[in-house]
């Protein structure tokens, strides 16, 4: 499993240095697929409804729906090719790499149990959450912030795959998937709306009445 | 099955919105649903229904009963306010079906947070309140409201993500000690016995940080002033008085379960976040000239006071409960009043508003009384609450925190008064011939004001008993 986790770490890092929004979305898709592969390796005899729901969440929702939904919105507004996810300078890159090192140190310090694979999984999940927070903290643009939030959610989903594999009840799993779908749909809605509404709002005294 | 009505009735009502007869009288329909849920909540407070339901997923305890009896009447008051606004401003009728649909799902999810007996169900219900609130914050065609709504959703997602991460860390902690992970809230105290390992400590810390984000505590508070400012006043009141208390109830449950094993950690985080939040909000109160933002920063200040009271525990708990409940009614009064003021003056700039007592007498009086309660004047419950929290800080020898608390609360007191009092008692800038305010337009705020006075002067035994039970559960003895 470790090579897959290292590949996932690469997918988390590379889009930070390649400044196009298509690479960012391709990275999100790869995150979903790699996590599904990791889930399959952790539990090769996937047969229960819970296992299939996990695959649905990772492959269809995170791997396909999230990137395609955001891609459609950005393509429709003919967004310029460049789309920084962190400021393109040495300081940002150093902070990003420092966060990955910190994530591995954190996993070392915790009594993870379950061998090296579990420890690497905790480290990569922590790195995903920290890099997501870095995006949220450094980028004011709505797209970058959405990507930051989705990366954090992916990190949590990866962390959920580890441990002794106690699954949530089916109803709770379904509700979690629905929440991710609605959140991403709202992100798409905001991207579209913020593109169509002019920046200058109504002046004082011209606003429509509100409740 | 009675408690389930608190969730099922608003959801069924939401489905009922497809009927033309309901769509034609949607604001009255909203009031009707709110009356039903308020009546059920009141009945729960007086005649408790103790049986667990739905395989233990639902259980109504003292905390649920107390907060059901707070948030449902506040929702009713907001519904009456909305009805009056729509009746007097026909332009608002267009978006009412959409508003009512989201508001009903928001109410159902808020009630679900309070009655659920499973951490994951509580988490899911909180997520639903966040998603519906994000839609409610948006005002059609106003770009800044979309931006505020997006920021709110991002912070909510991250905050609740931390809560989920915390729950997963608790799972790891249980697995590490050979326990089978279970998240039924009434079973957690037994599972939390014994030494807290690193996973449990990490889980508790993440959950407090995540719920702190929902409460507007530093460091992740910046969504709050923007969302409270941009949302329609009725929605701001729901965020500040309903959703705030739902997140707080989840925090109460975590503190109740894990304080015995992680006392130092919980006290340290909550007191630290509380003091930082008070400091940040005090500086912001001094700087702002926007009435809604000023009340929003005061909300952050209050969240800081609540975090400190919760962190100290022990004898602060009863005062904390009085403070929390008073705070819900104060914020409902102030945000609805700010909405009324903005609707008349078409500005939120405090320097443009003067002489409210003469110009808009009802709003002037509500702003005055709400500000006095906000600042912790007697005879309001917030006064007694603050006093008990301060006394507990002294008796637990946290003198530095006591000194910082007093200094910050004094500064925010002066800054708030300096901005708001000229709005109330200054000379009106121009002679305006406003339409006369009706009693019905003031009725919700009068109701909240009565509740506020009751909390400060004479608390009915039923409510006092509930407050004491919740306070005892938070003392950590």
Q: Nearest Cβ partner of B168 from A152, A160, A204?
A: A160
What is the sign, positive or negative, of the torsion defined by CA atoms of A170, A171, A174, A180?
Answer: negative
Per the CB < 8 Å rule, is A149 touching B234? no
**B 142-181 residues with CB below 8 A of A?**
142-144, 146-147, 149-150, 153-154, 157-158, 161, 164-165, 168, 171-172, 175-176, 180-181
In whole angstroms, give the CA distance from residue B285 to residue A205: 25
Indicate if the pLDDT at residue A84 is higher than 70.
Answer: no
For residue B349, what is the nearest residue in chain A, using CA coordinates? A204
The DSSP code for B4 is G
* Residue in B131, B172, B199 closest to A186 by CB: B131
Q: Which residues contact B90 (CB under 8 A, 6 or more apart)?
A: none
Residue with tokens 């729509």: B86
Task: Write out pLDDT tens, residues B103-153.
Answer: 999 999 999 999 999 999 999 999 999 999 999 999 888 889 999 999 999
**Top-confidence range, A134-148, A171-185, B363-377, B409-423:** A171-185
- pLDDT above 90 for B304: yes
pLDDT (tens digit, 9 = 90+) per residue, B327-343? 999 999 999 999 888 88
What does the pLDDT average to over B279-297?
93
Mean pLDDT within B400-409: 94
Give B-chain residues touching A111 at CB under 8 angstroms. 176, 197-199
Answer yes or no: are the C-beta atoms of B73 and B447 closer than 8 Å. Answer: yes
Distance of CA B289 to the CA centre of its chain: 23
Contact B171 A168 (CB under 8 A): no
SS3 A199: coil
Residue spans of alpha helices (H) in B89-118:
96-115
For chain B, how many helices (H) and strands (E)? 21, 0
Contact B294, B285 (CB under 8 A): yes
Identify whether B219 is preceded by a cis peptide bond (ω within 30 of 0).
yes
Helix B316-345 and helix B461-475: axis angle, to 10°? 120
Exposure letters A14-36 (e unless 16+ CB within 10 A, then b): ebbeebebbbbbbbbbbbbbbbb
What is chain A's alpha carbon radius of gyration, rounded to the nearest angstrom?
19
Question: Is B180's pLDDT higher than 90?
Answer: no
C-alpha span between A156 and A133 (Å, rounded): 13
**In chain B, whose CA is at the least distance from the CA of A205?**
B346
Rounded to a whole number, what is the distance in Å from the CA of A94 to chain B's nearest CA? 23
Q: Which two tokens stand for residue B344?
A: 């008349």
Strand partners, B349: B290
Give the nearest partner residue to A205 out of B154, B158, B346, using CB atoms: B346
Query: CA separation (Å) from A138 to A14, A84, B154?
Result: 17, 10, 14
- What is the per-residue pLDDT for A204? 56
> A130 and A103 in contact (C-beta within 8 Å)?
yes
Task: State the Cα–Cα distance between residues B279 and B272, nearest whole angstrom.
Answer: 11
CA distance B260 to B194: 9
DSSP string, A19-34: -BHHHHHHHHHHHHHH
Question: Which helix (H) or strand (E) covers residue B446, if one does?
Answer: helix B439-457
Distance separating alpha carbons of residues A73 and A96, to the nearest angstrom: 28
- What DSSP line would sit under B345-388, residue for residue? HS--BGGG---HHHHSHHHHHHHHHHHHHHTT-TTSHHHHHHHH
CA atoms of B195 and B43, how far apart (whole Å): 40
Instruction: List the alpha helices (DSSP H) in B288-360.
Output: 291-312, 316-345, 356-359
Instruction: Report how far residue B15's alpha carbon sits from residue B456's, in angstroms, rounded to the nearest whole number.
Output: 40
What are the pLDDT digits (tens) for B79-107? 999 998 898 888 888 889 999 999 999 99
**pTM to 2 decimals?**
0.93
| pLDDT of amino acid B244 | 96
- Which residues on neighbouring strands pair with residue B116, listed in sequence order? B58
pLDDT in tens, A4-26: 999 999 999 888 888 788 888 99
Cα–Cα distance, B302 to A163 (Å, whole number)? 39
What mean pLDDT do residues B3-32 have? 94
Q: Could you tell me the pLDDT band of residue A97, with boundaries at 50, 70 and 90?
A: very high
- Kindly state whether B314 is in contact with chain A, defined as any CB-CB distance less than 8 angstroms: no
Angle between helices B381-395 and B399-425 (to 10 degrees): 160
Tell me what the pLDDT averaged over chain B comes to. 91
CA gap A153, B164 in Å, rounded? 10
Q: Which residue has the higher pLDDT, B340 or B206?
A: B206
* Residue written as token pair 């409740």: A211
**What confidence tens digit (pLDDT) does each residue in B214-265 have?**
999 988 899 999 999 999 999 999 999 999 999 999 999 999 999 888 889 9
Q: What's the token pair of residue A10?
A: 């690469």
Distance (Å, rounded) from C-alpha A32 to C-alpha A28? 7
Contact A209 B198 (CB under 8 A): no
Q: For chain A, give every domain's residue range.
A: 2-195
Token pair for A24: 């960012």
B170, closest residue in chain A (CA to CA): A163
List helix spans (H) across chain A.
2-17, 21-42, 49-55, 66-76, 90-109, 115-138, 142-161, 170-196
Q: What is the ipTM of this complex?
A: 0.93
The pLDDT tens digits for A135-169 are: 888 888 889 899 999 999 999 999 998 876 567 78
CB atoms within 10 A of CB A6: 12
- B57 and chain A: CB distance < 8 Å anywhere? no
Do A183 and B347 lie within an 8 Å CB cutoff? no
Mean pLDDT, all residues of chain A: 87
Closest among B299, B259, B321, B310 to B477, alpha carbons compared: B259
């Amino acid at each position: 499993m470790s090579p897959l986790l290292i590949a996932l770490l690469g997918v988390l890092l590379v889009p930070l240095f390649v400044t196009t929004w298509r690479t960012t979305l391709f990275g999100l898709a790869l995150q979903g697929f790699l996590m599904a592969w990791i889930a399959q390796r952790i539990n090769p005899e996937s047969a229960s409804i819970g296992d299939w729901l996990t695959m649905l969440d990772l492959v269809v929702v995170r791997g396909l729906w999230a990137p395609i939904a955001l891609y459609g919105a950005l393509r429709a507004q003919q967004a310029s090719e460049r789309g920084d996810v962190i400021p393109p300078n040495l300081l940002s890159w150093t902070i990003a790499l420092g966060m990955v090192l910190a994530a591995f140190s954190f996993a070392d310090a915790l009594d993870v149990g379950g061998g090296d694979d579990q420890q690497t999984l905790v480290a990569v999940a922590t790195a995903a959450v920290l890099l997501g927070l870095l995006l949220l903290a450094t980028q004011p643009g709505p797209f970058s912030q959405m990507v930051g939030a989705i990366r954090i959610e992916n990190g949590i989903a990866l962390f959920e795959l580890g441990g002794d594999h106690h699954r949530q009840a089916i109803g709770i799993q379904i509700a979690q998937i629905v929440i991710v779908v609605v959140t991403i749909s709202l992100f798409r809605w905001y991207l579209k709306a913020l593109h169509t509404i002019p920046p200058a709002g109504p002046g004082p005294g011209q606003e429509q009445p509100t409740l | 099955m009675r408690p389930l009505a608190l969730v099922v009735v608003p959801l069924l009502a939401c489905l009922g919105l497809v009927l033309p007869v309901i769509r034609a009288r949607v604001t009255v329909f909203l009031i009707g649903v709110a009356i039903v849920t308020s009546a059920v909540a009141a009945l729960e407070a007086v005649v408790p229904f103790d049986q667990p339901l739905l395989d233990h997923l639902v259980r109504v305890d003292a905390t649920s009963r107390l907060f059901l009896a707070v948030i449902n009447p506040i929702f009713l008051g907001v519904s009456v306010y909305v009805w009056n606004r729509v009746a007097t401003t026909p332009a608002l009728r267009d978006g009412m079906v959409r508003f009512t649909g989201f508001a009903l799902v928001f109410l159902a999810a808020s009630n679900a947070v309070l009655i659920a007996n499973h951490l994951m169900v509580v988490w899911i219900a909180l997520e639903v309140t966040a998603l519906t609130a994000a839609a409610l914050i948006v005002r059609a065609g106003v770009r800044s409201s979309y931006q505020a709504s997006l920021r709110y959703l991002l912070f909510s997602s991250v905050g609740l993500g931390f809560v989920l991460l915390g729950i997963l860390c608790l799972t790891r902690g249980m697995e590490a000690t050979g326990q089978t992970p279970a998240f039924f809230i009434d079973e957690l105290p037994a599972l939390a016995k014994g030494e807290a390992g690193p996973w449990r400590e990490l889980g508790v810390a993440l959950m407090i940080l995540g719920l702190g984000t929902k409460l507007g505590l530093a460091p992740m508070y910046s969504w709050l002033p923007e969302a409270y400012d941009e949302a329609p006043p009725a929605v701001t009141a729901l965020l500040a008085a309903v959703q705030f208390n739902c997140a707080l109830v989840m925090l109460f449950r975590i503190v109740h379960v894990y304080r015995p094993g992680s006392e130092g950690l919980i006290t340290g985080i909550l007191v630290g976040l509380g003091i930082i939040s008070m400091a940040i909000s005090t500086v912001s109160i001094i700087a702002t000239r926007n009435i809604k933002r000023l009340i929003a920063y005061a909300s952050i200040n209050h969240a800081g006071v609540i975090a400190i009271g919760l962190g100290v525990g022990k004898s602060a708990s009863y005062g904390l409960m009085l403070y929390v409940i008073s705070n819900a009614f104060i914020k409902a009064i102030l945000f609805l009043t700010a909405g009324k003021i903005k609707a008349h003056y078409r500005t939120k700039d405090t320097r443009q508003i003067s002489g409210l007592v003469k110009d808009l007498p009802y709003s002037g009086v509500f702003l005055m009384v709400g500000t006095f309660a906000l600042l912790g004047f007697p005879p309001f419950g917030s006064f007694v609450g603050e006093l008990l929290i301060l006394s507990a800080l002294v008796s637990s020898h946290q003198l530095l925190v006591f000194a910082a608390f007093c200094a910050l609360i004094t500064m925010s007191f002066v800054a708030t008064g300096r901005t708001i009092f000229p709005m109330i008692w200054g000379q009106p800038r121009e002679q305006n011939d406003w339409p006369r305010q009706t009693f019905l337009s003031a009725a919700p705020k009068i109701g909240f004001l009565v509740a506020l006075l009751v909390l400060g002067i004479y608390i009915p035994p039923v409510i006092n008993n509930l407050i004491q039970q919740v306070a005892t559960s938070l003392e950590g003895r």
